[in-house]
Amino acid sequence: MYLCSISTINHNSMLIRIHPDNPSERLLRLAVDCLRQGGVIIYPTDTVYAIGCDIHQSKAVQRVAQIKNIKPENANFSLICHDLSHISDLTKPFSTSIYKAMKKGLPGPFTFILNANNNVPKLFQSRKKTVGIRIPDNKISRELVRLLGNPMISTSVYDDDEIIQYTTDPELIHENYQQHVDIVIDGGNGGNQASTVIDCTGDELVVVREGKGRLEEIL
C-alpha cells in the first residue's frame, strides 16, 4: 500500500479531525499533500462520506477502484469540483437550461451526469464518455479541491450492514478502512442519504437516482 510521507502507526491510515465550519488550512494542506503524492483519502461531503484521490494520479484511481472491488473502466466515480468554473474544463458544451439547473442546485446534494471532453483522463471516463460532477455544500471537501487545484474523485463509503446503507461515524469508517486508505478526515457525523443523480446528457433532465436533493428545487 502506498503511504504518504506522514507519520503513521503500523502502516494504518491517519485519522485527522477537521472542524466542518472552520476547517484548519494546515490540516487541509496535510491531506492535499497526500493527494498530490498519489494518496487515497476518505472525506466528508454534504451527503455521505466519500473515498477520493487526485484525478490525475492514475495509480490512486486504480487503488480506489480496487477498494470498491471494481475495474476502473467500469466505475461510476464522480468528480468533486470547487465551483462551476471547473466544469467547462471537463465537459462538452451543454444547454443554458442545464447550466441554470446546476447553478440553482450547486453547491448542493446533486450529481450531474454530463458528456465528458478529452480533458477527463481516459482511465476515469466511463464507456459512455460521461462524467458525474459534484460541488458539495461542504467546506472541507470544497477547500480540499481548491487547494489541490483540480478535481478529485468521489465514491460513497458504503456500510456492510444490510439495513444501514452508509457508515456515518468517521471513527468507525477509520476502523474499517485504515488498512486501505492513507487519511480519514473526521468532519463530524456524515449523512445516510446519497446525492440525487441527474442525467443531463439528453434533451431533458432525468433522475437516475433519487437522493437527498429534489429535482423540483432546481427546475
Alpha helices by DSSP H, 37-193: 58-67, 96-105, 139-148, 170-177
Going from N- to C-terminal start, the domains of the chain cover 14-217
Residue 1: pLDDT over 60: no
Residue 136: pLDDT over 90: yes
CA distance 104 to 186: 28
Average pLDDT across the chain, whole number? 89
CA distance 177 to 167: 11
Segment 98-113 mean pLDDT: 96
Cβ atoms of residues 20 and 140 within 8 Å: yes
The pLDDT-based confidence of 9 (bands split at 50, 70, 90) is very low
Q: Running DSSP on this structure, what letter comes out for residue 168?
A: -
Residue 216: pLDDT over 90: yes
Give the residue with greater pLDDT, 166 vs 154: 154
Question: Which of 68, 44, 69, 78 lies closest to 169 in space, CA to CA?
Answer: 44
pLDDT score, position 164: 60
Measured CA distances, 51 to 14, 182, 215 (Å): 14, 11, 26
pLDDT score, position 158: 82
Which architecture, in CATH terms, is 14-217?
Alpha-Beta Complex (3.90)
List, for residues 167-205, the tens digit of each pLDDT value.
889 999 999 999 999 999 999 999 989 999 999 998 889
Residue 7: pLDDT over 70: no
Q: Which residues of 155-167 are buried (b: 16+ CB within 10 A; e: fewer)?
A: bbbebeeeeeebb
The alpha carbon torsion through 140, 142, 145, 150 (nearest 10 deg) reads: 170
In this structure, which amino acid lies at residue 156? S
Residue 8: pLDDT over 50: no
Give the residue with greater pLDDT, 183 vs 122: 183
Segment 148-152 mean pLDDT: 95
The pLDDT-based confidence of 163 (bands split at 50, 70, 90) is low
Q: Which grid coordinates belong to 173?
A: 469508517
pLDDT score, position 3: 45
